[in-house]
Each structure stands twice: as structure tokens, then as C-alpha cells.
Structure 1
Amino acid sequence: MTTTLFQGGRVLTLDQSDRQYHDGCVLVRDDRIAYVGPRADLPDTPVDHLIDATGKLVMPGLVNGHTHLSMIFGRTLGPEKLLLDWLDQQLPMIGAFDGEAMYVAQMLGCLENLKNGNTSLVENLAAAHPDDTAMEDATFRALRDSGIRGTLARAFEGRNFLPDFMESLEDQARRVTALAERWHGAEDDRLRLSFGPLLPWCMTEEMYRETRALADRLGLCLHMHVAESPEFNRLIAKHLGRDIRQVELLHETGCLGPDVQVVAVSDVSPREVELLAESDTRVLLDPPTRLFWGTGFPAIHPFLDAGLTCGLATNGPAANCGQDLFESMKYACATAKTAKNDPQALGRYRALRMATSEGARAIGRGDQVGCLEAGLKADIITVDLEQAHLAPTLDVTAALVYSAKGTDVRDVMVDGRLLIENRKALFVDESALMRQAEEIARRCIREAGVDVSL
């Protein structure tokens, strides 16, 4: 048995009672939290590793509900393009990946997430199929080796897409089944698999229904982009030959429910919000990317008013050029307030829970992580409060949501394993990884024929 003690800092539990301790402790035994509370009440127990949290905040790790780490080599390429034009530039780079490129991209993305305090993430992977499931296996190896709590949400493209990325329903079923057998629940359930369509016009109604049936058979969640812009709904109507919106299509084909995660949802009608609420579908919001692309102002408050479970996301590092979930919290509050002309449309407490406990529920991890509570998995971060942009910290929640940055994170633990200590990665040589990523990115750009001047 290994024990670690976070001692001497302020503890923010985000549990049901929202308990805080100004001089608190968090004791970890193996991969679980054993004690959370005042230092004065700490049980007398031997400690293998002591982390001095003086001047820091100890809190749950953040939950990044949706990203595309495979696109990390495309960071800074095309940031002023329209969404679909940007995608046309990014996909050829991914199409040039081999297993080494995918592994390095994913490792770099995991490192960035962990250094920003994101202990859980959902990696939505769209990849070519040069060697059956080689790209997915490389991704899972990176999630495993980095130590992060990761779900690979495998994308499906059945038509109207790049030929190397498309597959039949039969191939999807065979590959997803094989991946589930190898990886779903691996590393004591630290790794999971989910899947779903990448873009709605890449699917027929039959593909939606068969994908849903496969998810039911394997007990996997569905994870998909939904109504990211008005163009999405126009293209759906064009390719399906009838006037229907995406959430309505998902309702018709049985692809809504508490095991379904819909991402972005910028262009939805009041009736579609009702359908999401009635089915208890989970919503993942990435407001920085919506504003970055100009694909639609993310109102946010309709989902909150409807009682939906909502999580927050960064989207991919090539989409908003970062993986800072503190930034997503701040943008979520700002956009919700502006959309409703109400400074209380989304408050700091709800935003923080959307990045932790509520976000964990949104991706199906609510029974494992999201708050500091005895018996839960030990996914813990520390935030340095002794900085000019956080002082004075009169309201620690407001400081986290409105002033903090991912670079304020100092220590990161996942599953009881310390992965980042005082901002230094313990699981990888950071400098070597970044050099390797630079070399491979330039190779993939050349092979894809991407014009980096655009």
C-alpha cells in the first residue's frame, strides 16, 4: 500500500456539501482518496510521500469533455478559416500519420492536458485506416502511458468524406468490437471506449440506427458533434433530402439518451432543447471554439434552464490553439451572460462544477471522479494561489473561474499516481517529446502537401 498526503493548503472538495478547509489535508491510499478534512483531524498514519500544499489550493482534477489530440500538429494552421475549410486543411495531415506519429501527437496532447490540470479527457479520434485499428491502438497506448484518465471516442464516417477515412457499417462493428475487447475498462477502468459519427452528413438514417444498436450491444456511450453551426443543419437537409434538423434526426433514430454525449450544439431550436432534456442526453460545451470560428454564439443558458447535465470542453489544440479548461469556464460564463443579458445566467459555482463533478457525470465518470471525497478515485490537482493575478483571493471560486489559468496548476495526480510535480512531468521527457513532435509534424505536413503559409 502506498500513501500520499497533500498537506497545508486550502482544500476545495466540490462534494455535495461543497465543503472547504482553509488548513486541510487529502490523504490518498493507492488509487483512492482515504481522508479529506482539517489537518487537525487527520488520522495518525504512515505517509510515503508528502506534498506541501502551503499557499496552494487542493481540488479535484478538471474534466475535459471533448478534444482532438490527433490534430495537435495542426496547431496554429488555419486559425482564421471557416470551420469546414479548416477541417479540409487538418484532415490530410492526419491522413499522413503512421502509428508513431499518432502516438507522439497523443502523448503531447496528454502532457498539455495534464499540465493544465485536466486529469480526465475524451479524445474524439477521426483517423484513416491504413492498418485496421493501428491508429486507435496507438492512441490507447498513449493514454495508458501518460497516466491520464482517458476515453477514446472513435469517429465513424460512412459516406461523403475522404475515402481513406470512410468505412462500412460492417467494418465499424468489427473494429469497435475488437477495440472494446482490448481496451474498454483497461487499466482498472481508467481507459474507456465510446464512438459515434464525426459529421452528420456522413451518415444515413440506417447508419445512425445501426450505430446505436452496436453501442447498445457493447454497452458503450455515443459521442458526437451536433449542430455546430447553421451550415450543419443545411447540409443534413441537403444530403437526407428532407427538412430535418440534427437533434430531430437523432431523436428519430434513437440516438439520444443519458449514454449519449452531444458536443458544441450551437444551432438548436427550443424544441430540440426539449428533446435533449426529455431524453436526459448529456451536453458538452466548448465556448472558446465557437467564438474562435464564428460558427454561432453559444447561448448556453437554454441548456441550463432545461435542467440538462452539462460538461465543458476545450475542443482540440488545433481548434482553439490550447487545452486550458480554466479558459473554457471563463468563456462559458461570459457568453452565457451576454446571450441572456443577465450577469447571473451562468454563475461561477455552476461553471466550476461543469468542469469537475457535473462534467464527470456528463461523460459517465460521475461515480469515479469530479470531487474530493473518501472512496473516490484520487484525481487531484494543486493550484498556486500566491500569484499577482490571483491576489487577493477573497473568493476562491471566482478566482478559479475568472482569473486562473492552466499554467497556475502545480501538481497533478491521477489514480493515485503523481504525474506532474511542481509543473515537471514525471512520466515523460518533455523536451525530447517536443523535439520529436516537431520533426514528425513537419514530416506529416510535407507528405500531406499542406501549405503552412495559409
Structure 2
Amino acid sequence: MKRILIENGVVLTMNQAGDIHERGCVLVEDSRLAYVGPREGLPRDLDARRHDAAGHVVMPGLVNCHTHLCMIFGRTLATNTDLLSWLDLQMPLMRALDAEAMLAAQTLGCIENLKNGNTTVVENLFAPRSDSVSPEDSAFAAMENTGIRGVVARAFEAMRFDPAFVETPAQQAQRIRSLHARWHGRAQGRLGLSFGPLLPWTLDESMLRASRALATELGICLHMHVAESREFNRIIERHYGRPVRNVELLHETGCLGPDVQAVGVSDLAPNEITLLAETGTSVVLDPQTRLFWGTGFPALTPFLEAGIHCGLATNGPAANCGQDLFESMKYACATAKTAAADPHALDARRALRMATIEGARVLGLDRRTGSLEAGKQADLITIDLRQPHLVPAFDLEPALVFSARGTDVRDAMVDGEWLMRGRRLTRIDEAAVLARAEEMAERALAGSQVRRPRHRTLTPQGTPHDD
């Protein structure tokens, strides 16, 4: 049996009681947590490899409930457009990705998540239709190789979308069944599959009902963008030819429930929040991208008051140019307080829970991860408190939410394996991945015929100059 003892750190458990252990210990046996608590609870002569976490917080790895790593090569492109125009500008670049480029993109994205302390990630993948290339295999392979805990949420489109991406319902069902057989539960349960429509108007009512039936048959989750903006609901009314809102439509077709994750919800009527609560549907919030596109943001308070489980996400690296979930926590609090005109609307403790145990619960993974408790998988991170922007940390939870950054994460472990030690990855040659990703991104950009942005640099005199 392999034992690792992490000692002398401030252990933030995120358990139901909210226990925090000063100079606490975490004992890992193989892939699981065997003990979490004060040093006095362990024998002095314990046979274990020791990791000194003095000056660090030891806490659960963060749970990034929604991203699009498949779009990572579009980072910083089209940053001054509305959501749907931005998507139109990103699509040519995505069409230019072959299997090699997709693997490079997904690996780069997994590394970025790990280095920001996100040990669990949901990759909402969409890609052009192909009979010879499986972008999902590239995503799963990247997760398997990097060691991250990952879910590939396969998005699909059946109509009213770029023709290169459109598949028939039968093709979609065949793809999901094949992916489920090959990947769901692989790597000792570290990898999983979910699915759902990319956008509400890329299918019809019968296809939504078929999606619900397939998810129930396979026992997997539905993961989909919901009511991201007022424009979403206007397009839905036009597409379905009647005055129906996004959540109402999902309720009519049976696509709400405890196994459903509604992502990016920004434009909801009170009755829709009631429907989400009554059906046990979870929401995934990415507040910084709501601000990025100027689509507005939900008050958050109605979700919390309704008892809805809320997870946090970064959204894709092309959407907000980063994968820092600490940033998401900070923006969640700020937007909730601003929308409600109430400084008490969302506190740091709840934001931390949304990024850890509550996010895991949203994904149906809370029995495995999301908190440091004996019996769970050993998914954890350490954060260096000895930073100018974290001193003094009189109140730990606000310090993590309002002052910490992803770059403060020093170590990351998944299933009892150190994937990062002292900011250095253990499984992956980071420099080689970055070089390869740069090469693949350049190739994809050239192949897409997307106009390269003009760089603004400084002249030797310090004045702006257009290259």
C-alpha cells in the first residue's frame, strides 16, 4: 500500500460541518483519503512518504463544471463581439482542427486547468462531423494522459447550424452509445460522458425527448447551454413558432431533472426558477463570461433562495481567455452582490462550496470528490499563502475567494497521484506541449483563413506602433 502524509498545512475540508484544521494532516492510501484531521489523530511513527505543507492551504481540487477546450486555439480572437457573432468567428478555426491539433488543444487545456487547481473538468466538446476522426477520443486521451478527472459533455447539432457540424439524431445516438461503451467509467472511474444540444434551436421537440430517453437509457447526464441571454429566448420563440421560453421548453420535453446541468443561465423568469427547483435541476454559472459578452448576469440570489444546486465554471479559454476558477468565485460574489444591491448576497464560503463540493454534486460526483473526507478519492491541491497578495490572511475563506489566483496553486493530486509538485507537472512535458500547441494553432489559423489580429507593440520611444 502506498501512503502519503500531507502535514503542517491549514486543511480546508469543505465537509458538511465546514471543518478547518490548523496544522492539520491528510493521509492518502493508494487513491483514497484515509484520514483528514488534526495531527493528534495519527500515530507518530506512521510509515508514509511525507509532504510538508507548512504555510500552505490543503483543500479539495476545484471543480470546473463547464469549458470548451476544443476552442482553445481561438483565445484572444474576436474579443469585442456579441456571443453569437463571436461563435461565428470561431467556427472556421474549429473546422481546421484535425485529430493531431485536437489532441494538442485538449492537452493544453487540461494542463491549464491543472495549473489553476482544477482537478475536475467538464469539456463541452463540439466539432465537425467526420467518419474518420474522433475528436472525443482526443479529448478523453488528453484527460487520461494528464491524469485529470474529466467528463466529456458531447454537444450536438441537428439543424440551423454550420452544416459541417450537423448530424442526424440517429448518427448522434450511435456516437453517444459508442463513446459510452469505450470511455465512460474508464481509468478507474476517473473519466465520464454526458451530452446535450449545443444550442436550443439546433434541434426540435422530438429530438429533445429522444435526448432525454437516451440519457436515461445510458444513465448519464444532460449538459446544455440554457437561457444564456435575452436573444436566446427570442430565437427560441422564432424557431419553435410559439411564445415558449428555454426552461419551459426543457420542462415540456422532460429535459429537466437531477441529472441535468443548465449552463450559463442569465435570462430566466420567476416561473422558470421554480421549475428548476421543483425538478432538482442544477445550474452552472460562469459570471465572468456573461460580463465578457455583455449579456448580463443572473442575480444568483433567486437560485440560492430556491435551493438550487449551483456549480461554477470558467467557460472556454476562447470565451474569457483563461481557466482560473478563483476568478470565477470572485466574479460570482461581485455580480451577485451588484445584481441584488446587497453585499450579503453571496459570501466567500458559499462561493468556495460552489467551486468544490457543490460543483461535484452538480455533476453527480460528490461521493467521489469535492471535499476532503475519509473514503473519498484523493483529489486535492495546495495553495501557497506566503504571497504578498495573501498576507495577512486573517479570514481564510475570503482570502481564497477575493485574493488568491490560480497561479498560487503549488501542488495538485488526483486519485492519490501527484500531477503537479511545486508548479511542475509530473506526467507531462509542459514545454513540449506548449511548443506543439503553438505549432498546431498556427497551422489551424492558416488553414481557417481567419484574419490574424494586428499586434500593437511599443516603439523604443515607448509610443504605440501597429505592426
Band the TM-score falls in, shorter-chain normalisation: over 0.9
Out of 250-259 and 91-100, give the one that drifted further.
91-100
- Provide Cα deviations, 1:22-71, integer angstroms capped at 9, x if missing partner: 11110101100011111232235654532110100000000000000111
Q: Normalising by the residue count of structure 1, what TM-score does the alignment of the two structures yield?
A: 0.98
CA contact (8 A) 2:14 2:371 kept: yes
Question: Equivalent residue for 1:391?
Answer: 391
Change beyond 3 A, Cα 1:27–1:270? same
Query: Mean Cα displacement is larger for which, 255-264 or 211-220?
Result: 211-220
Give 1:341 deviation, angstroms: 0.7
1:282 maps to 282
SS of alignment partner, residue 319 of structure 1:
helix
Q: Which residue of 1 aligns with 2:265?
A: 265
1:333 aligns with 333
User: How far apart are the structure 2 equivalents of 1:323 and 1:61?
Assistant: 14
Tell me, in whole angstroms, the C-alpha distance in 1 between the residues paired with 2:320 and 2:251: 30
Shift of 1:131: 2.9
Match for residue 458 of structure 2? none
- Cα drift, residue 297 of structure 1: 2.3
Give the match for residue 381 of structure 1: 381
Q: Partner of 1:215 in structure 2?
A: 215
1:409 aligns with 2:415: no
SS in 2 for 1:94: helix
Q: Which amino acid aligns with 2:239?
A: H
**What per-residue deviation string (whole Å, max 9, x for no partner) do you get for residues 412-447 of structure 1?**
000111000000111111111111101100100111
Give aligned-pair identity as a percent: 60
The 2-side partners of 1:117 and 1:291 are apart by 23
Structure 2 unaligned blocks of 5 or more? 455-467
1:93 aligned partner: 93
Asked if 2 retains the 8 angstrom alpha-carbon contact of 1:329 and 1:355, the reply is yes
1:371 aligns to 2:375 (yes or no): no
Structure-2-length-normalised TM-score: 0.96
AA aligned to 1:3 is R
Once the two structures are superposed, the pairs formed by residues 234-249 of structure 1 within 5 Å of their partners are 234-249=234-249
Q: CA deviation at 1:8?
A: 1.1
* Offset of residue 133 of structure 1: 5.9
The one-character-per-residue Cα deviations of 1:380-427 (angstroms, maximum 9, x if unpaired) are: 100000111111111000100111000000000001110000001111
Gaps of 5+ in 1: none
Residue in structure 1 matched with residue 17 of structure 2 by the alignment: 17
> CA–CA distance in 2 between the matches of 1:96 and 1:47?
53
| 8 A Cα contact 2:25 2:36, kept in partner | yes
Residues 157 and 202, structure 2, Cα contact 8 Å, conserved in 1:
yes
SS in 2 for 1:342: coil
Pick which of 94-103 and 353-362 moved more: 94-103
Distance in 2 (CA, whole Å) between partners of 1:45 and 1:180 is 45
Letter in 1 for 2:114: L
Question: Which SS does the other structure have where 1:318 is aligned?
Answer: helix
Instruction: Kindly indicate whether residue 67 of structure 2 is the aligned counterpart of residue 67 of structure 1.
Output: yes
Cα RMSD of the aligned pairs, angstroms, is 1.1
**1:451, 1:49 → 2: CA distance?**
53
Give yes or no for contact 1:11–1:21 (8 Å, CA) kept in 2: yes
The correspondence of residues 129-168 of structure 1 with structure 2, limited to 5 A, is 129-131=129-131, 134-168=134-168
Q: How many residues align?
A: 454
What are the within-5 Å matches in structure 2 for residues 175-324 of structure 1? 175-324=175-324
Greater Cα shift, 294-303 or 164-173: 294-303
Check conservation: 1:33, 1:378, Cα contact below 8 A: yes
1:450 alignment partner, SS class: coil
